[in-house]
A and B are shown apart, each in its own frame.
Chain A
Amino acid sequence: AQSVTQPDIHITVSEGASLELRCNYSYGATPYLFWYVQSPGQGLQLLLKYFSGDTLVQGIKGFEAEFKRSQSSFNLRKPSVHWSDAAEYFCAVGLSGNTGKLIFGQGTTLQVKP
């Protein structure tokens, strides 16, 4: 069955430090991959997505992610974290086919220390 794993439930980084959030997926076909961010009580904002082509994807707010097929991973990175990046981050896999269903990981809560 398809699944998405975000191994880190909670991460704390200092402002200005680099960030990497891990995401692993299990899916037999070529996946469509997404990262969303959710601030407390808010909706889901798309950070970036990978469908095909260059495996390093640039997103909004200075985020990037790299698709590694051999590792079934799609890790999110940011070189220098800002206090406003504190939020919950969700990785999701989109299943090919007609329905367009997304499967989400459990999420990683990012806390930023001043």
Chain B
Amino acid sequence: EPEVTQTPSHQVTQMGQEVILRCVPISNHLYFYWYRQILGQKVEFLVSFYNNEISEKSEIFDDQFSVERPDGSNFTLKIRSTKLEDSAMYFCASSGKDIPLYGYTFGSGTRLTVV
């Protein structure tokens, strides 16, 4: 069964550093997403991406965050200057077909620890 692949599984970074989280969505999917889950809390939507542009973003997704699909296969989330409160599990998801909620598949996540 096709999978969404996220790398690395765990990343530790120093406060103020830039970090890039990588995702390889399912190959024929068209819609891409990032979510985050702070430890012990619910999963929160960050951003959706379609047709090479952001289609929706949450209030969490401020100027410190950006997303990119640099080469048609990867989908990245960049945090420019990490803060302690950015420590969380970050999930990538993708979906295909005409209705984006169909075939929604999550990756296994990247645990980001900011020290």
Contact = CB atoms under 8 A, between A and B. Distances in A.
Contact of B33 (A41, A100, A107): A100
B66 interface: no
Contacts of B101: 32, 51, 94, 96, 100, 102
Contacts of A44: 43, 91, 106, 109
B11 to A, nearest CB: 15
B77 to A, nearest CB: 16
Sort chain B's interface into a size bin. Answer: 20 to 34
Nearest to B106: A44
Sort chain A's interface into a size bin. Answer: 20 to 34
B108 interface: yes
A101 B60 CA distance: 14
Interface of A: 32, 34, 36, 41-44, 46, 51, 90, 92, 94, 96, 98-107
